[in-house]
Amino acid sequence: MAIDYDHIMSLKSEGQEFSYGDRETMLYALGVGMGRDPLNREELGYVYEKELKTVPSLATVIAWGAGAMRDSGINYLMVVHGEQRLTLHQPLPPAANIVVDSRVVGAFDKGKDKGAVIVSESEIKLKESGEKLCTLTGTTFARGDGGFLKEGQQVQGEQPKPHPIPERDPDGTFEAETRPDQAALYRLSGDRNPLHVDLDIAEKAGFPRPILHGLCTYGTACRTILANVCDYDHTAIRGFDVRFSAPVYPGETIVTDTWTDGNVVSFRSRVKERDVVVLNNGKCTLA
């Protein structure tokens, strides 16, 4: 089934209900590397229910499975996560009942042999009050679905533009180790794609071994900036946007360069062992 432009642009899902509690909040924090040093009092606040705080990127998993693209016509064997954008309208509580409205907001044909870019948006609200909690915008690169536009068909909107990285030397450079078993832990927060734990499936996908979830790399970068730029103040981060460039293998070291200009922290992450950029065009917006 090929993409039908009018159909995919009409896709939406409204009123999906989810809930999460302190268990999910702590499990996510552990999955992106918090709490490895039991003597670090700042990180204890993210993995212990006494006065629990939330890693801002937790927003990407609190409504795992929500979305509007189930009937999109995309060949899911050929898709990769292109970009992830997050806007926090208020700091995430450590537990909440939430309601999610999702829709497709853009579909861009790059050409028959060049794939397609699909942009979807999810707005998450607190169930009891109706207050906006966060907005997630995700870009999917559908490598096998280019050439779907009909002649003369008009496209709505514009493809999101990547955030430019400053050309000067970085203001800070910070390392974050990943554990060999990190994908096995992170997947318990929602994304159980076997690509991240099953050797046979990873090899069939063209990888020598299972890869780390892209959103785990995203969460690790968020943890790095939270710790080193925001002094562990989870209320300081109000936006977190990245473009995914390459996969990380569990056990590798993620090195993040940062540039701070006012309330915007630009960042880029690479793998130390292979000197490969894995996250690019990063933009962390501070309160």
The yes-or-no answer on residue 165 being catalytic is: no
Closest alpha carbon to 216 in 78, 25, 30 = 30
The yes-or-no answer on residue 262 being catalytic is: no
Of 3, 211, 225, 254, which one is the catalytic site residue? 211
Of 31, 45, 190, 214, which one is the catalytic site residue? 214
Of 163, 196, 213, 234, which one is the catalytic site residue? 196
Q: How does DSSP assign the chain, residue by residue?
A: ----HHHHHH-EEEEEEEEE-HHHHHHHHHHTTTT-STT-HHHHHHH-GGG----GGGGGTTTTT--S-TTS---GGGEEEEEEEEEESSPPPSSEEEEEEEEEEEEEEEETTTEEEEEEEEEEEETTT--EEEEEEEEEEETT----PPTTPPPPS-PPPPPPPPSSPPSEEEEEE--TTHHHHHGGGS---GGGT-HHHHHHTT-SS----HHHHHHHHHHHHHHHTSTT-GGGEEEEEEEE-S---TTPEEEEEEEEETTEEEEEEEETTTTEEEEEEEEEEE-
The yes-or-no answer on residue 214 being catalytic is: yes
Of 191, 219, 225, 241, which one is the catalytic site residue? 191
The yes-or-no answer on residue 62 being catalytic is: no
Asked whether the beta carbons of 60 and 136 are under 8 A apart, the reply is yes
Report d(CA 21, CA 28) in Å as an integer: 11
Catalytically active residues are 191, 196, 211, 214
